[in-house]
Structure 1
């Protein structure tokens, strides 16, 4: 029986929440820059935008290019990233223990990310999550992606848990917006990637947590009343 302090299900963002993938992206962009005779990217400049996706990261490494020229680099960026995925990335401190605690409690957990699904699925076996991660929804799995609530609602349906009985954990404002729109309690992961000047207090998450170890000890976890029945 699940202890009262754990929800029935927890859904996580991936990059910046479970996985510190910034080092992989630094290596990817450095390979692209070196091939073009350019200096390596500044990791401190790249890190805050990792959760914003490939366009944001390319805008840091190739700031002088027009948007359409940077967009043309996305296929190369994804191909190079796929070739080295997981070689430099690591779980954030406390994540492994947090997931162990959820497993021990009988809480179902899964991943809802804006990362393309085929790339996210390469990461799952690297951490032995094949039999542990109950659902994985990528940014291209459905017609919509976060901050639209559809990926969260789809994940909850797949695991057979009502949205209000899940908790969504993410490090970006769009994670919290998606959770709110899905009537799903939310946790802002303050250990993740964040733009300079971003104020997580303005995201209106149900709970803000400094690190994954504290999330494991959260008592109580956030809750949300059930959505009203349709007439």
Structure 2
């Protein structure tokens, strides 16, 4: 086991872990609400649902709508979001320095998200990540998505690194479940999006971090196995 140094590879969730995308989604939801003559949703209302995906956010925006009717709004939601993606979102404070620290240590990093891959790929050039992000797996890239371990397993394979030599970082319990099933050490982060009452201390992550700045230091990362795949 290695400890006290950066992992050979780190895989990240995107929304709520690297990117504070909630402002984009608030604008998206409010454009839909305005088009229907309805009142706006606030950032505070929508933020806890962001990591759960479009359907969860639409449930917050349209709470009195029947499930089937609300689910039919997903294509509209994604179309509006695609048109404005990244205009209001920002990296969480400290994330860029964390990524630079990993790169300076020779670590590889990539993204495994449940966001559709085509949307996640639109983010990369906005942040200058096309060459820096070694692998990107979206929620529709494979036959399974998190909490299934397959996306993490395939991401590790694509960067030629054993799953046990990678660390997965995420803000949702599904992230930790997927990592554990893949045999990948995990970090649960507290700066992302969580519904009230959701307790990360029960997720069984290998480490819990309150701020990205903690991950600037190699000692904050969980131990991993050797890097050979």
TM beyond 0.5: yes
**2:81 is aligned with 1:68:** no
Residue ranges of structure 1 left out of the alignment (5+ in a row): 227-231
For 1:15-58, what per-residue CA distance to the aligned partner results, in whole angstroms no more than 9, with x for missing partners? 00000000000000010000100111121111011000000000
Q: Is the 8 A contact 2:7 2:221 kept in 1?
A: yes
Normalising to structure 1: TM-score of the pair? 0.95
Q: Residue 183 of structure 1 contacts residue 224 of structure 1 at CA under 8 Å; is this kept in 2?
A: no
CA distance in 2, matches of 1:45, 1:220: 32
Q: Confirm whether residue 161 of structure 1 aligns to residue 161 of structure 2.
A: yes
2:182 is matched with which residue? 182
Secondary structure (helix, strand or coil) at the match of 1:133 reads coil
Normalized against structure 2, the TM-score is what?
0.96
Equivalent pair of 1:164/1:223 in contact (CA under 8 Å): no
3-state DSSP of counterpart to 1:169: strand
Take 2:178 and 2:119, find their aligned partners in 1: how far apart are those partners?
21
Matched, 1:206 2:206: yes
**Counterparts of 1:17 and 1:220, CA distance in 2:** 16
Unaligned 5+ runs, structure 2? none
Q: CA deviation at 1:223?
A: 2.5
Q: Distance in 1 between matches of 2:225 and 2:125?
A: 35
Does 1 or 2 have the higher relative contact order (CA < 8 Å, sep 6+)?
Answer: 2
Residues 50 and 220 of structure 1: CA distance in aligned 2, closer, same or farther (over 3 Å):
closer
1:108-141 Cα offsets, whole Å, 9 max, x none, are 0000000000000000110000110000000000
Taking the TM superposition and a 5 Å limit, the aligned residue runs for 1:207-226 are 207-224=207-224
Q: Does the Cα contact within 8 Å between 2:7 and 2:224 map onto a contact in 1?
A: no
Q: Give the deviation of 1:216 after TM superposition.
A: 1.7
CA contact (8 A) 1:5 1:219 kept: yes
Output the aligned Cα RMSD.
Answer: 1.4
Alpha-carbon offset, residue 215 of structure 1: 1.4
**After TM superposition, what 4+ stretches of structure 1 lie above 4 angstroms from structure 2?**
none
C-alpha separation between the residues in 2 aligned to 1:167 and 1:177?
13
Q: What is the rounded CA distance, in whole Å, between the counterparts of 2:4 and 2:104 in structure 1? A: 13
The 3-state SS of whatever aligns with 1:5 is coil
Paired residue for 1:12?
A: 12
Give me the whole-angstrom Cα distance separating, in 1, the residues matched to 2:161 and 2:184. 11
2:88 aligned with 1:88, yes or no? yes
